[in-house]
Amino acid sequence: MTVPSLLTTADLDRLIRMLADGGYTCVGPALRDGAIVYDEIGGVADLPAGWTDVQDAGRYRLERRGDGALFGYNVGAHSWKKYLFPPAEQLWRIPRATDTIRPLTPPQHPVRHAFIGVRGCDLAAIGIQGRVFGHGEHGDGRYAARRDAAFVVAVNCTMAGGTCFCTSMGTGPAAGPGYDLALTELVDADRHGFVVDAGSERGAALLERLACPAAGDAEIADARARVDETAGRMGRTLATDGLREVLLRQLDSPHWDEVGERCLACANCTLVCPTCFCSSVEDVSDLDGSHAERWRRWDSCFNPGFSHIHGGEVRNSTGARYRQWLTHKLATWHDQFGTSGCVGCGRCVTWCPVGIDLTAEAARLREREDSA
């Protein structure tokens, strides 16, 4: 176990540049189109210094902070999923041939990403998707290759958003396992630095190359106190005790149709979710007949055609599709993968155009059962 180090903002800039020099494409938070998103960055100058966000159901706004914090915001619409499980991916290509059909799979040389600023909830989501795509007999080798190549610099949260409930899901605000380095930002009137802890051998090696001083007991205690305080300031809560059983007993509840009357079935919640993995596969061919391709693309259980089979749709109402999404996320995901499919990031609440709140809907279903 390594002793935590104390980094300045200049040291963080050096760290990012060292990763880039080592062949990583560095991705981190950046200001784009009135939001904080994940994009390629070249150094500290590209980070959203002094900005924060205000989130509630169906609402997201940026505001200026009173300091220069680099990570003083909550998660935005983007998640790291788009780099590990791309929205569109070619599975194979078949050129026209006269003698044989031989599918050509794209070469497996994944981009080596360095993720800068991964929150505890998102780190947990990466772990959950790793279980979904797996390394076993039917595992997705593309996902595994991208994840194995990624260098993760996590950030322990020192502020909680209006739609955050990671403490309810046990995924934050402190980053759990899976990071190479974890930062806790310390910013106030007379200092701006980071307590940094290594979580892997390659993280420890990079930290050693930075040659920064060890963090003192006071800095380490301050970092822990800030994270602990954040845990008590969540904008939402979700009672998870017995929730799987409650949802499975409420499959015929009229509440699903009530939610369906509000839901637009726009699929925003599944697109912003860091764990949703539904996809469709389509075959396409060139107009001149020279080749055919197979692509995998993100899909959603909210799309009417997603459950279409011979004879019609399995879930032919918006209420039924919402029921599928919520019960899979919070109930049957446990049966399939041994964990909840929700990490408490709150994105589905913030980015729902009509402000449907997963935590509130789960609570109402529990209340219906209790009052029955």
Lowest mean pLDDT among 82-86, 98-102, 119-123, 308-312: 98-102
Domain boundaries, the chain: 5-231, 243-371
Per-residue pLDDT at 220: 96
H helices of 44-196, in order, are 81-84, 120-133, 141-149, 166-169
Q: CA 175, 117, 119, 57: dihedral to nearest 10 degrees?
A: 160
**3-class DSSP state for residue 24?**
coil
Confidence of residue 50 (pLDDT cuts 50, 70, 90): very high
Q: pLDDT tens digits, residue range 256-296?
A: 999 999 999 999 999 999 999 999 999 988 888 788 888 99
pLDDT digits (tens, 9 = 90+) for 319-350: 999 999 999 999 999 999 999 999 999 999 99
At 285 the pLDDT is 85
pTM beyond cutoff 0.95: no
In contact, 306 and 278? CB cutoff 8 Å:
yes
Q: What integer pLDDT is reported at residue 245 of this predicted model?
A: 96
Given a cut of 70, whether residue 62 has pLDDT beyond it is yes
For residues 199 and 201, give the distance between their C-alpha atoms in angstroms, rounded to a whole number. 7
CA 176 to chain centre: 14
Q: Which pLDDT band holds residue 99 (cuts at 50, 70, 90)?
A: low
Residue 125 pLDDT greater than 80, yes or no: yes
Among the listed ranges 6-20, 21-35, 81-95, 338-352, which one has the minimum average pLDDT value?
A: 81-95
- And the tokens for 225? 């106190």
